[in-house]
Structure 1
Amino acid sequence: MSKESILIIDDNELYIDALEAILRDDGYEEIFALTKGHNVLATLENNKIDLILLDISLPDVSGIELYSRIKENKLYSHIPIIFITGHGDVKIAVEAMKLGAFYFLSKPVQPYELQTLIRCALDNSKLQREIASLKVQLQTNQSLIIGKTPAIKKVMTRIAQVAHCDATVFVKGESGTGKSLVAKAIHESSLRSKHPFIAIDCGAIPSSLLESELFGHEKGAFTGAVRKKKGFFLRAHQGTLFLDEITNLPLELQPKLLRVIQEREITPIGSDKEIKVDVRIVTATNDNIEEMVNEGKFRRDLYYRLNVFSIDLPPLHQRREDIPLLAQHFLNKYSPNTKKSFSKEAMQTIINYDWPGNIRELDHAIEHAVIISNSKEIQKQDLPSALQSKTSSPSLNFDSLYTLKEMEKKYLEKVLMHTSYNQTQAAKILGIERKSLWRKLKRFEISIPQNENPNEAK
C-alpha cells in the first residue's frame, strides 16, 4: 500500500472514477479530485500532494496556465505533473513538456503505462537532490555522450529523469547517433549499476537462434543443444538488458517478449518451469517503428509497453557545435601519446561535412586520419576521401514531396551511387552493418548493377 497522495484534475467525473480505480488497484489510497482548476492552490495548501494528473483541457482554465500557476509557487514547484490529453491536444502537451512537465499520456490511458509513469515520477521527485549530484556522475558515466548543444543537453536531462526508476525506455535515432551509449549511461546512473549490463543486437542474431539467446534452453531441447544454456534475460538478472535494433525481432517472438515484460518471468526452451526475472529493459531502433506498427510488422501492444519513456537522439548534423568536441575526443582516443591536433582547414572540413553516418562515421574518420597522418597536425588530405571531395552528404531533390519510406529509399540510392555501389563503403557511411544494408536493399527492391564492384564479397 502506497503512502503517496495523488491529485486528479479532470472535468469528466466518469474519467476521474476510472483513473481512481486504476490507482487504487496499484495500492494508492490518498487520492484527491477536482473537476475545475480554480481551487487547485487551496487543495495543495490543505493537503500533502505528491503528484498531479492534469487534464490539459479544463472548463475554467487551460491546463498550461494551471501548470504555470503551480510551478510559479515555490511551495509546490517540486510536485511532478503528468498531463492527460485527448488526441487533438497532443501538440499542446508537447509544449507543456518543454515547460518542464514530467510527461503526458493520451486518452484512453493504458493502466500499465499510467502506473509505471506515476512510479517513475514519484521516484524522480524523491530523488531530486540525488539528481543534482547525479549530473556530475553522468559527466563521468557518459564520457562518450559529449556536447554542449541544447539538443544533447536535453538527452542528458532525459537520462537523469529516468535513471532511478524501472520504466522501460525506448531510444530512437539514426544509425551511429549513440543509442547504445545512452542505454549504458541509463544503467550506470541507476540503482542497478552494480549488476550486469547486457547488450544484444537483435539484427545480428539469426531469427532461428534468437529465442534461445534471449530465454535460454535446456539440454536436448533441440538438435545441437548439447548443454543447458542461460539466456540473456537470466544473465542480466537485477541489471539492464539492452535490446538494440528491436524492430528486427521476429513477429513470432514478440508475444513472448510482451509476456516477459508483463509477468516478469521466462520459460527456457524445452522447460515447463517458469523462472522469475528482475530486469530493466532498454530498447532502440533506427527504423520508423510507428510505420511498422501501422503496417502490422510490429505488435502495437508490445510497442506501447516498450515506449513508456522515450529518448530521441538528434543526428550529428543537427548538433554541429558539438562536432569539434567529438573530433577532439576521438583524436585523443586514437593518439593518446602523440598529442596531435587539427589544422584549421581540416577542422573546418570536419565541421562542414553532414555526417550521414553520424558519430560512428566521425569516429572512423578520425581513426583513419590518425593512421594516415605523419605529422603532429591532422591535415585535410589525411581525412577520408568522402570528406575531401565534398563537405556535405549526397543531396536530395526536395522539389517534390516524398513519404519517409520513399525518402529513405532515395537516400540509399544516393549513397550507393556516391560509393559507386560499393556496399561495404555505403554501409560504413550509413553507420549500419553490411547485413542490415542488404536487408534494406531487399526491402526497397534496390538492385545493384552487375558490372559494379564485381570483386566485392557477397
Structure 2
Amino acid sequence: MTTPPKLCLVEDDPIMGESLRYRFELEGYRCDWFKSALAAQAHIGISDYAAIVSDIRLPDMGGNELYQQLLDEGRTLPPAIFITGFGSIGDAVELLKKGAADYITKPFDLDVLMEKLHLICRDSSPQRETLPPTLGISATMRRLEQTLCRVSGHNATALITGESGVGKEYAARFLHHCAFGDSRQHPFIAVNCGAIPEGLMEAELFGSEKGAFTGAVRTRHGVFEQANGGTLFLDEIGDMPTNMQVRLLRVIQERQVVRVGGETPIPLDLRIICATHRDIKQMVTEGAFREDLYYRVNVVHVHIPPLRERREDILWFTHQFLSEIDPENEHYLLPSAEQQLLQHDWPGNLRELHHSIERATILTPEPAIGASAFSMNGEQTEDNPDMSGDLHNRLMNYEYQIISETLHRHEFHINETASELGISRKNLWEKMKKLGISKQD
C-alpha cells in the first residue's frame, strides 16, 4: 500500500489553518501544521514532505525569510507554494526566483490550490534522484550512505565500527532498507551480543529443540532463523565468547544452522551485519578475537566517526529527535539552545543527544526550548545556574531561569512576558528586582 504524500502547512491563522488541513486530508494527503516559521524550520528539509504550503506573513518570521534561511542551511527543499493576503507580488516573484514552485493570493479558491498541489506532488515526490539524508547531512555521512547503498547490492557480511552511541544500528537499518525497502517479508533482527548471558547465548543465537536441556519445553527458533530472508544485526560482536565465535564462523561459512539438541541443518539466506565499539584488529593481535572470524565479518568495513568530528550533524539529529519525541510539534529550539548543543563534545554521541533532547522537552513547559534546558553533564553556565543547595535556593534558581528566558524571548517587553507567565506586571517587576534580573543580563 502506497503511503500518501505528506504536506508541510505553515499558517498562523487558526481558522485558515484548520480549513486547509481539513481539505488536504480530505484529498488524501497527510499534513503537518505549524503555526510559526520557527516551528516549521525544525522540520523542513528533514521530514519527507512532498510540498510546502506557507503563508508569507507569519508572526515570527516572513515566509520569504524562512525560505531563504533554509536555502542558506543547504537543506534539500520540496516544492513550495506561498500564500499572501496582501498582494505582495514582489515578494512572491522573488520567492519564485529562489526556487519556489508557485504562489497564490488571498482570497483564493481552494480548488485552484488543490490543482497546484496535485500537479506538484505528482511530478516531484515519487521519483527523486537524490534521497533525503538518513544518517546525517555531513559530507562524511552522505558518502557513507552512498557506500552502504552500493554494498546493498551484494550479500557480503559487513562490519560497522565506531564509538558507543554513534549510530551503528541506524547504519545497519539503512543498509537493510537499501537492500529490501520497507517490505515486511524481509525481517530486520537486532541482537546485542554483550547483553546475552554466556549460558544462554548458544540457544539465543542458534535456537534449540524441545528437550535439548532442562527447561526447553518447546522448540525455539534462534535469531538466525528469525532473520532468515532478511538481515541479522549482531551488535557488540567483540563481546562474544571465544567458543561462540567458533560456531558463528561455521554458520557464516556454511550458511546453515543446527539448533542446540538438533541434527538437521537449516539453510540460511540472510544478510549478516556485525558491529562493535572495540578495536577488533587489536583484539585479534591479543588473541581475544579469532582471526579467521575477523576476516569473515570484515568483508565490508564501515567506520562511523563520533559526533564531535561531524558537528554539522548535531542540529540535524536534534531536529530529527525532537520530531520523534514531540510528534505534535509543540516545541522548538531557540538559537541559544542550538548554540549550546553545538559547543558540546557529546562523548555519548547520538545516545546522549537523544537523552538530552528528551529531557529538555519533558522539563520545558513552554514551546520555546532555551539553552537553560540543557545541562551538559552537570556543567554550570550562565544559562544554567547552580541547582545545588536547599529547596528554597533551587526554586529561586529555577524561577530565575524561567523569567530570564521568557524576558529575553520577548526582548524585555514586560506586558508580553507577564502575559505568558500568567502574572501581573507589578508581580513581574517585583520578581525581577528580587532575583536581580536586568536588561543587561
For the superposition of Structure 1 and Structure 2, which TM-score range results when normalised by the shorter chain?
0.5 to 0.7
1:166-223 deviation per Cα after TM superposition (whole angstroms, max 9, x unaligned): 0000001111111001111111111485411111000111011111011111111111
SS at match of 2:241: coil
CA distance in 2, matches of 1:134, 1:260: 39
Give the unaligned 5+ runs of structure 2.
1-126, 383-441
Instruction: Identify the residue that residue 379 of structure 1 maps to in structure 2.
Output: 370
Counterpart position of 2:136: 146
Structure 1 match to 2:424: none
Q: Distance in 2 between matches of 1:134 and 1:257?
A: 40
2:166 is aligned with what amino acid? Answer: T
Q: Is the 8 A contact 1:353 1:390 kept in 2?
A: no
Q: Helix, strand or coil: the match of 1:375?
A: coil
1:231 to 217, 222, 225: 222
Note the C-alpha offset of 1:134.
Answer: 9.0
Which amino acid letter does the alignment assign opposite residue 264 of structure 1?
Answer: R
Q: Does 1:156 align with 2:145?
A: yes
Secondary structure class of the residue paired with 1:310? strand
Q: CA deviation at 1:283?
A: 0.3
Letter in 2 for 1:360: R
Asked if 1:293 is matched to 2:276, the reply is no
- Counting only pairs closer than 5 Å after superposition, residues 171-250 of structure 1 correspond to structure 2 as 171-191=160-180, 194-250=185-241
Q: Aligned equivalents of 2:360 and 2:367: distance in 1?
A: 11
Instruction: Please tell me whether the aligned partners of residues 171 and 313 of structure 1 are also in contact (alpha carbons under 8 angstroms).
Output: yes
Question: Residue in 2 aligned with 1:255?
Answer: 246
Gaps of 5+ in 1: 1-132, 392-458
TM-score, normalising length: structure 1: 0.53
Matching residue within 348, 358, 368 for 1:367:
358
Work out the CA distance in 2 between the residues paired with 1:357 and 1:178. 11
Q: CA RMSD in A?
A: 1.9
Measure the CA separation in 2 of the matches of 1:385 and 1:173. 22
Superposed structure 1 runs of 4+ greater than 4 Å apart: 133-136
Instruction: Compare 152-161 and 167-176 and name the one that shifted more.
Output: 152-161
- Residue 278 (structure 1) aligned with residue 252 (structure 2): no
**Percent of residue pairs bearing the same amino acid type:** 43
The residue type paired with residue 173 of structure 2 is K
Mapped partners of 1:287, 1:263: distance in 2 = 27
Query: Within 2, Cα distance between the matches of 1:338 and 1:188?
Result: 27
SS at match of 1:203: helix
**How many residues are treated as equivalent by the alignment?**
254
Aligned residue type for 1:185: F
Length-normalised TM-score, structure 2: 0.55
Residue of structure 1 in register with 2:110 after alignment:
none
Contact 2:176 2:231 in 1 (8 A): yes
For 1:309, the equivalent position in structure 2 comes to: 300
Q: Secondary structure at the match of 2:159?
A: strand
Match of 2:435 in 1: none
Letter in 2 for 1:180: E
> What are the superposed Cα offsets for residues 321-374 of structure 1, whole Å, 9 maximum, x if unpaired?
121111122222222224422222211110000000001111110110001112
**Match of 1:29?**
none
- Partner Cα distance (1:156, 1:389) in 2: 38
**Is 1:165 matched with 2:154?**
yes
Equivalent residue of 2:195, what SS? coil
Q: Is the CA contact 2:333–2:369 (under 8 Å) kept in the aligned structure 1?
A: yes
> CA shift at 1:390, angstroms?
6.7
Determine helix, strand or coil for the equivalent of 2:213: coil
In 1: Cα distance, 2:365 partner to 2:340 partner: 19
- Give 2:356's aligned amino acid: A
Any idea what SS the aligned residue of 2:179 has?
A: coil
C-alpha separation in 2, matches of 1:286 and 1:297: 15
Cα distance in 1, alignment partners of residues 303 and 381 from structure 2: 28
| Structure whose CA Rg is larger | 2
Contact 1:179 1:313 in 2 (8 A): yes
Q: What SS is found at the alignment partner of 2:322?
A: helix
How many Å separate the matches in 1 of 2:229 and 2:277? Answer: 27
Partners of 1:283 and 1:373 in 2: CA distance = 39
